[in-house]
Amino acid sequence: MMKPEAAPLGTLAFYSDFDDFETWKRALQAQLPDLKIVHASEIDNPQEIAYALVWKPPARFFDRMENLRLIVNLGAGVDSLVNRDDLPAGIPITRITDPQMARMMAGYVLFSVLRHARDIPFFEQAQRLGKWAYRHPRSPDEITVSVLGLGQLGAKAAYELQRQGFKVLGWSRSPAQIEGVECHSGIEALDSVIGQADILVLMLPHTPQTVNLLNRERLGKMKPGAALVNVARGSLVDQTALIDLLKIGHIGAATLDVFEREPLPAGHPLWSMPNVLITPHLASVAIPSSSATQIAANIRCISAGMPPDNVIDPSRGY
């Protein structure tokens, strides 16, 4: 689609507890010098706000933004923006679709899968005990990795995993095709995809259909000793069941970047489990230098009365 060149009208409001306002402002201002960009804490008159660039804005954030025309989610997962009661209907919500973000996520997934595939947690524990504990390496083609969710991030990760020589199964809602990946779709295929995995990677969005998808019964269908990598959302997994299964070793190890409650509360049992690696929700982030162009293009579209790209479907939840 040809991008219009009309000067954007109005003001953009920025909200994120995790991303640096000045960096984003500089990146966007370089593309749209005429756009007024304010931090959420500086909004005098909500009615002046035409665009919102946000990550997890608090409840009632959009109240009185009657002239809002576009919401840009500062990331891929839009679960904090759908089903809100402070949003006027029909405002397009866009997500960031950035190859750099997908590469960063694929890097995290690759690291986690290789760590489990090469038994690194076992060696880390042995080292703490001062033990020379030989465990013969498995060849990647003996290891099945199942990736649940084959979207913009999931598909890239699955592709990179098969390039490492793993047997990779993928699962999504509608049928997908990814080079070197055995793709499955639909709920009827899920248990088999879970049951074959030596390493199960969660890359699904949080939606009403995916909440608690990995319930106790499904977690129990994992191969004894298999590893779990969750870079999607904590809500997908029954956390109590996960802890129980990790304790008895049915799930051998887990790499968890996301949790039901974030930050993971102090003293939570997961913190002290020797077979769990915890990272604080940063498997991938939106990168200003590479994402600003598409955000600016969408703002130009809206100001010219044209539909933006990368719009999510609120009824689907992603």
Residues contributing to the site for ligand NDP (CB under 6 A): 75-77, 149-154, 172-174, 176, 203-207, 209-210, 231-233, 257-258, 281-284, 318
Of 130, 165, 123, the C-alpha closest to 145 is: 165
If the CB atoms of residues 50 and 178 are measured against ligand NDP, the closer one turns out to be 178
DSSP 253: E
If the CB atoms of residues 49 and 286 are measured against ligand NDP, the closer one turns out to be 286
Shortest CB 258 distance to ligand NDP, Å: 5
Q: In what order do the strands lie in the sheet with 144-148?
A: 181-185, 167-172, 144-148, 199-202, 226-230, 251-256, 276-278
Q: How far apart are CA 178 and CA 201, in angstroms?
A: 16
If the CB atoms of residues 28 and 150 are measured against ligand NDP, the closer one turns out to be 150
Q: How far apart are CA 103 and CA 201, in angstroms?
A: 16
Residue 16 corresponds to which tokens in the numbers above? 């994120």
Q: How far apart are CA 21 and CA 206, in angstroms?
A: 26
Shortest CB 312 distance to ligand NDP, Å: 7
Shortest CB 33 distance to ligand NDP, Å: 30
If the CB atoms of residues 76 and 296 are measured against ligand NDP, the closer one turns out to be 76
Shortest CB 148 distance to ligand NDP, Å: 7
> What does DSSP say about strands 11-15 and 36-39: parallel, antiparallel, or unpaired?
parallel
Q: What are phi and psi of 178, to 5 degrees?
A: -135, 130
Shortest CB 277 distance to ligand NDP, Å: 14
Q: Measuring CA to CA, how many Å separate 234 from each of 25, 102, 139, 212, 253?
A: 31, 20, 31, 9, 16
If the CB atoms of residues 168 and 283 are measured against ligand NDP, the closer one turns out to be 283
Question: Which residues are designated catalytic?
Answer: 233, 281
